[in-house]
């Protein structure tokens, strides 16, 4: 009887392990949009090779850590731009202080970027970069529409790149490589990003 139970437990263990090995990886959690990004010059810029910014619980109070060049990562899949360090998403501003999402877990802290980084609104940032839809969205989010909520013009993929012309609320007017002008959702109803930059 004992051997029979042991055999069943072993069989269940093997089945669970095989199932987890062949299961598709979960899609990454898309970051919240916040109010914009703080952009740091690329790693080739000697001023920022040794970038170090203090992280604070409140502006100038209760230091909680240090952000350096090597920890400016995690959003490369969103901002895949080799010529610059991955931007940090900004959730709030108080004077020169910026509240940023500083890791993949979505933890936030305040930084004073001083002369090391520059805040840009989403419209400023997206207009100066090549845009693309992020992977693993629902199929309706890849639609290029004639106007917000309007007629379908085309279906995009994460490999299609476009130029953002302007943003209105959660919609962005874009110009595709094929010369089509239309609208895409750049932010979803939960305030999460649906558009990335750079070529996939």
What pLDDT is recorded for position 146?
Answer: 96
**Choice between 79 and 112, residue whose per-residue pLDDT is larger:** 112
Q: What is the C-alpha to C-alpha distance for residues 112 and 54, in angstroms, rounded to an integer?
A: 8
Q: What is the C-alpha to C-alpha distance for residues 126 and 132, in angstroms, rounded to an integer?
A: 10
What pTM did the predictor assign?
A: 0.77
What DSSP assignment string belongs to 174-188?
A: EEETTS-EEEEESB-
108-111 and 118-121 as β-strands: parallel, antiparallel, unpaired? unpaired
pLDDT tens per residue, range 136-157: 899 999 999 999 989 999 999 9
Q: How far is CA 65 from CA 55, 71, 102, in A?
A: 5, 11, 11
> Do 134 and 187 touch, CB atoms closer than 8 A?
no
Residue 103, pLDDT > 60, answer: yes
What pLDDT is recorded for position 31?
Answer: 82
pLDDT tens per residue, range 8-39: 766 666 665 655 445 555 566 778 889 999 98
What DSSP assignment string belongs to 42-59?
A: -TT-GGGTT-EEEEEEET
Q: How confident is the model at residue 45 (pLDDT cuts 50, 70, 90)?
A: very low
What pLDDT is recorded for position 189?
Answer: 86
All domains of the chain in start order, with CATH:
36-122 (2.30.30), 129-197 (2.30.30.40)
């Amino acid at each position: 009887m004992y051997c029979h139970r042991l055999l069943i437990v072993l069989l269940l263990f093997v089945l669970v392990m095989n199932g987890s090995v062949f299961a598709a990886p979960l899609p990454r959690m898309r970051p919240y949009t916040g109010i914009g990004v703080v952009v740091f010059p690329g790693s080739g810029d000697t001023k920022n090779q040794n970038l170090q910014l203090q992280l604070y619980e409140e502006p100038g109070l209760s230091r909680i850590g240090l952000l350096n060049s090597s920890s400016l990562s995690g959003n490369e899949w969103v901002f895949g731009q080799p010529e610059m360090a991955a931007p940090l998403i900004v959730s709030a501003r108080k004077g020169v202080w910026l509240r940023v999402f500083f890791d993949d877990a979505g933890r936030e802290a305040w930084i004073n970027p001083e002369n090391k980084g520059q805040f840009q609104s989403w419209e400023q940032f997206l207009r100066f970069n090549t845009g693309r839809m992020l992977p693993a969205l629902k199929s309706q989010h890849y639609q290029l529409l004639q106007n917000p909520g309007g007629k379908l013009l085309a279906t995009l993929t994460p490999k299609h790149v476009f130029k953002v012309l302007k943003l209105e609320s959660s919609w962005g007017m874009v110009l595709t490589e094929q010369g089509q002008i239309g609208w895409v959702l750049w932010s979803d109803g939960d305030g999460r990003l649906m558009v990335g930059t750079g070529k996939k």
